[in-house]
Structure 1
Amino acid sequence: MSIYDYEVTLEDGSQYALSKYKGRPMLIVNTATKCGFAPQFDGLEKLYDKFKDQGLVVLGFPSDQFKQELADGHAAAEACRLKYGVSFPMHDLIKVNGKEAAPLFQYLKTQAPGELGKSIKWNFTKFLVDRDGQVVARFAPKTKPEAIEPAVEKLLG
């Protein structure tokens, strides 16, 4: 199975397959608007804005797994747009750990285990996927988006 086989749900409830982004690098992030790392939305938006014309897609997946998110994906996405000017795709609320974890995040954790093995430690864990759909890097929540820029440039180069 590849990343392109997964379907995801946008904050408005519409679904699509990640195959839509075939041939484009993706930065997939579990987010939370009430998290101390929420200012990273600004850096994620800057990264997206800088590289979107070269093909980069940033995908935000709000999660209340760590009790720091609003009631639903639409409210989270709206808060991101208003407070941080987010224009990259935001998705519906998901779980990232446990039996109810979203299938995409189960896959990402298997492809790029972190310090806690196949668990996600906290909000703003970031997965970088290359143009061929391979998960090439996992970045810790504390890793700021600007620190990821060299890895993105390498994929785009």
Structure 2
Amino acid sequence: MADVLRRALLAAPLMIAAGEQSVFDFTVTRLEGGPMPLAEFRGQALLIVNTASFCGFTPQYAGLQTLHDRYKTRGFSVIGVPSNDFNQESTNAATIREFCDTQYGIDFPLAALSHVRGPQAIPLFRFLATSSGSTPGWNFHKYLVARDGRRITSFSTSVEPNQPTLLRAVDAALG
């Protein structure tokens, strides 16, 4: 009897962990409107990035697209989340889409204009900040989400999409 109880107690943390929230439990709105349930990406590694069209770091869009193209066949996707929290994004979805298409040929998914920090942050970004211990300090803050949707690593704005540190982390997340 004691052995059964001991095994049950040892298994309890696993049962609790299995019920924890993951990135795949969230839904954001697509830039073009309509829901984008992140459950659509279940089992993939994701790089979720708050983006802006009129920022000194905007050229990172090119690197994000290259990263998306390089790893998408291995189960990876970049998801851009335009934000005007730092006053460097259009407030018009059509303008954001046109900019991304014409300037950078972006074909990775883009969410609707969203708040990514502070009390107005969308639930996804509150979860990412809490899980990683890092809140966006500027545009192009990156959250790398492992295939399980729970292990989250953040990268500051200054980490370019092609930097070896980020590339190694993506490889490990896809591992």
In structure 1, the residue matched to 2:81 is 61
1:10 aligns with 2:26: no
Counterpart of 1:41 in structure 2 is 61
Q: Provide TM-score, normalisation by structure 1.
A: 0.93
Rg comparison, structure with higher value:
2
Match of 1:134 among 150, 162, 174: 150
Partner of 1:102: 122
Q: Find the aligned partners of 1:52 and 1:131 in 2 and give their Cα distance.
A: 13
Determine whether 1:123 maps to 2:139: yes
Q: Which residue does 2:167 correspond to in 1?
A: 149
- C-alpha deviations, 1:2-42, integer Å up to 9, x for none? 21111111111110211111100000000001010000000
TM-score (norm 2): 0.84
1:29 to 46, 49, 72: 49
Please identify runs of 4+ aligned residues in structure 1 that moved more than 3 A: none
Q: Distance in 1 between matches of 2:62 and 2:140?
A: 12
The sequence identity of aligned pairs, in percent, is 40
Compute the RMSD of aligned alpha carbons: 1.1
Q: Deviations over 1:102-134 (max 9, x none)?
A: 1100000000112xxxx3200000000011102
8 A Cα contact 2:136 2:156, kept in partner: no
| Offset at residue 85 of structure 1 (A) | 1.1
Q: CA deviation at 1:135?
A: 3.4
CA distance in 2, matches of 1:6, 1:150: 26
What is the CA–CA distance in structure 2 between the aligned matches of 1:60 and 1:28, rounded to whole Å? 6
Unpaired runs of 5+ in structure 2? 1-20
Mapped partners of 2:153, 2:94: distance in 1: 28
8 A contact 2:128–2:152 mirrored in 1: no
In terms of fraction of residues, the more helix-rich structure is 2
CA distance in 1: counterparts of 2:174 and 2:146, whole angstroms: 9
